[in-house]
Structure 1
Amino acid sequence: MSESTLTGKQKRYLRSLGSTLDPVVQIGKAGMIEAVAASARDALAARELIKVRVLQNSPEEPQSALMALADCVQAELVQVIGRNGLLYKRNPEKKKIELP
């Protein structure tokens, strides 16, 4: 996990921002592979907050796949709803999101 864990207030704020996002990374039938992690890393560097979808044909449970991805890219797993998860990782150079 990242060096700072988010407070409840910060998670609520990120969830409100994430509700309008479309999934930019998908975990498919190959499961949690390096290509998925690389794609998530790039998206997090550009946006800080991304939505990830675990497809129906994924061999893993959505919760465990999203937790594995969060660990792999050192991001914070903010929320899991069904097959969608919200990941947050602060970009030290270009901050896009000001947390409360």
Structure 2
Amino acid sequence: MELTGKQKRFLRASANRMRPIFEIGKNGLSKVWLDEISKALDSRELIKVNILQNASVTPSDVAEFVMSHSDITVVQKLGKTVVLFKQSSNEDNRALSSRVFSI
């Protein structure tokens, strides 16, 4: 899904005070990790992922992996943090995406 600049700006502002709920360590990226991210995004729609110092991946690697293996949108890569967005499949959890798509 392609977001406009204004929509990404809104999502970055929404994620500003969030704390990362997932971390990537020395085990790197895997399909299991991506499945867990998808489950979290289905209930939250917007999450932060932190990349630890001992990880062998960069934020660009994470963004490329996520975008090539799923329909998750990478909103921002900042330092060792990546912000991810995906519209929830459950209509009760779509508070954030309804605001994003109204922009």
Q: TM-score, normalised to structure 2's length? A: 0.85
Query: Match for 2:53 among 32, 51, 56?
Result: 56
Whether 1:10 and 2:19 are equivalent positions in the alignment is no
Query: Match for 1:45 among 42, 45, 49?
Result: 42
Whether 1:22 and 2:19 are equivalent positions in the alignment is yes
Partner of 2:69: 72
State the secondary structure of the residue aligned to 1:13.
helix
Aligned CA-pair RMSD: 1.4
Conserved? CA contact 1:49–1:86, under 8 Å:
yes
Q: How many residues align?
A: 97
Per-residue deviation, 1:43: 0.8
| Structure 1: tracts of 5 or more residues without a match | none
In 2, distance between residues paired with 1:35 and 1:59? 17
State the secondary structure of the residue aligned to 1:23.
coil
Letter of the aligned partner of 2:18 in structure 1? L
Per-residue deviation, 1:23: 0.6
Q: TM-score, normalised to structure 1's length? A: 0.88
| Structure 2: tracts of 5 or more residues without a match | none
More helix by share: 2
